[in-house]
Amino acid sequence: MIQPDPKREEFLARFADAQATLDQGFARLPPSSQPALGEDAAIILREAAERLHDNDPYFHPLYAGQMLKPPHPIARAAYTLAMSLNPNNHALDGGRASSAMEFEAVAALAKMFGWPKHLGHLSSGGTFANLEALWIAGQLHREQGTSLAVAASDQAHYTHTRISGVLGLPFVSVPTDNTGRMDLNALEQALKTHRIGTVVATLGTTAVGAVDPLDRILELQARYGFRIHVDAAYGGYFTLAGNLRPEARAAYDAIPRADSLVVDPHKHGLQPYGCGCVLFRDPSIGRFYEHDSPFTYFTSKDLHLGQISLECSRAGASAVALWATQRLLPYEVGGEFARGLEAGREAALAMHKRLAADVRFEMPMTDPMLDIIFWAVKGTTVVQSSSQAQSIFRQARQMDLYLALAELPIRFFPEGTWPDHTGDVAHVTCLRSVMMKPEHLTWSDEIWRRLEAATSAVLGVNTP
């Protein structure tokens, strides 16, 4: 028998009150028929709920695998509330209120990054937001009569390679150092060819959470003259965190001097999928978005979001949800939202320390830069280590601990980690955990207990 959940009951009551307020705003209209949810619909919804059991419990602190974080209850409620109208933020006619909320929500993001003047909008996610940023970069280079390449690190998100191909831009992959950060010597060698027009600095790589040295990339920009785009889809919100390493803090403090930036509120911003954001420091780039379409809404002469976006139809509900969350949890250093980020990082550091003390594991060259940790399993060969990592991954799932696997360069680990390594394998399968929920800090002991039990089941008890 499922026990009543007071928090769920409160959520439903708050939502019902907000829905009644929304309905009152249109009470002047004559009644209209709406489809009803009868018993057939109830049966289908129960079936859908049962089908959804075939998911991992992404909402729970024992899920510490991929970059999946539950939306805040206010974001869920605000999104659902807006869906009563289903606004489309392509134009003011399709969503006046939600468009205004989007401008306000995007301005809050820009302020967080130190950009009082900006141009930007929400998107379906980081992939499309990065596409827009690189599209603008390509347009600027063509405006200057050049066709220059995009450069990103070999640990940058793979979509940068795809996006460059879609846009017809040459792409250069820049090697990283043994901590996963862009190698500046390698970048400078590429810049000396004078074929690089845009450098993508990743603040929070998807695999290991590495933070490229943006402050030092800006020094190279002063010498070689290129555009800098910051891909902070995952790690952008950490600009608010007060417990970063000095080199990461220096990178985040340099953001105000970058040219464009992408951040995903549907990652650390407590939003439902999909909600990304692209920002440009120079509002004049809006000229590249100008268009004239006979079927665009023209009942207002004010600037609308369809005029500064490559996407057309976009869910106004995403803007409403983000706006509501920002009102409840403002982007303030030391505030409740920032403390949640700091808690995730503390959880990652604590888990890293525990892993390093266990002789059954091999640790990388550096401790976590954000809230992502990864580790290998001790073995004489890379193949053996990879196989054991996969076994622990499966065993942990049987104990309701959800981790992830990642294929990472063996150079991320100290030389001699695998004494019988023959050099024919460049990557090792690692265990990986994203400690992005604030609750992960208070659940650290339980997470470790289950990981230790899963490891003992595969490798035997730790006997240092």
pLDDT confidence of residue 147: 82
Structure tokens at 37: 């949810």
pLDDT confidence of residue 131: 96
Task: Check whether residue 195 and residue 304 sit in a common domain.
Answer: yes
Q: At what angle do helices 444-459 and 336-356 cross, to 10 degrees?
A: 30
Structure pTM? 0.94
pLDDT confidence of residue 309: 86
Task: Check whether residue 273 and residue 305 sit in a common domain.
Answer: yes
Over the stretch 426-440, which tens digit does the pLDDT of each residue have? 999 999 999 999 999
pLDDT confidence of residue 302: 53
Task: Check whether residue 323 and residue 358 sit in a common domain.
Answer: no
Residues 6+ apart with CB under 8 A from 382: 410, 418, 421, 425, 427, 428
Distance, in Å, from the CA atom of 172 to the CA atom of 154, rounded to the nearest integer, reads 9
Task: Check whether residue 211 and residue 262 sit in a common domain.
Answer: yes
Q: Shortest CA distance to 175 belongs to which of 411, 432, 444, 421?
A: 411
* Averaged pLDDT, 54-83: 96
Domain-terminating residue out of 281, 312, 328: 328
Task: Check whether residue 279 and residue 166 sit in a common domain.
Answer: yes
In a domain, 64, yes or no: no
pLDDT confidence of residue 422: 77
Task: Check whether residue 244 and residue 100 sit in a common domain.
Answer: yes
Distance, in Å, from the CA atom of 86 to the CA atom of 82, rounded to the nearest integer, reads 6
In a domain, 9, yes or no: no
pLDDT confidence of residue 385: 96
DSSP string covering 257-289: GSSEEEE-TTTTT---SS-EEEEES-GGGGGGG
Q: Where are the beta strands (DSSP E) in 170-266?
A: 171-174, 196-202, 227-232, 260-263
The total of structural domains in the chain comes to: 2
* Averaged pLDDT, 396-406: 98
pLDDT confidence of residue 296: 52
Task: Check whether residue 177 and residue 256 sit in a common domain.
Answer: yes
| CATH at residue 356 | 3.90.1150.10
CB of 34 closer than 8 Å to CB of 287: no
Per-residue pLDDT at 201 exceeds 70: yes
Task: Check whether residue 118 and residue 192 sit in a common domain.
Answer: yes
Domain span at 355:
336-459
Identify which has the larger pLDDT, 145 or 249. 249
In a domain, 351, yes or no: yes
User: What rounded mean pLDDT belongs to the chain?
Assistant: 93
Domain-terminating residue out of 328, 346, 375: 328
Task: Check whether residue 178 and residue 277 sit in a common domain.
Answer: yes
In a domain, 74, yes or no: no
In a domain, 448, yes or no: yes
Name the DSSP class of 238. G
3-class secondary-structure state, position 368: coil
In a domain, 21, yes or no: no
* Averaged pLDDT, 450-463: 90
DSSP string covering 386-402: HHHHHHHHHHHHHTT-B
Task: Check whether residue 266 and residue 397 sit in a common domain.
Answer: no
Q: Shortest CA distance to 246 belongs to which of 369, 345, 353?
A: 369
pLDDT confidence of residue 300: 53
Task: Check whether residue 315 and residue 370 sit in a common domain.
Answer: no
3-class secondary-structure state, position 365: coil
In a domain, 145, yes or no: yes
| CATH at residue 100 | 3.40.640.10
Per-residue pLDDT at 298 exceeds 50: no
Structure tokens at 134: 């690189």
Identify which has the larger pLDDT, 300 or 257. 257
In a domain, 6, yes or no: no
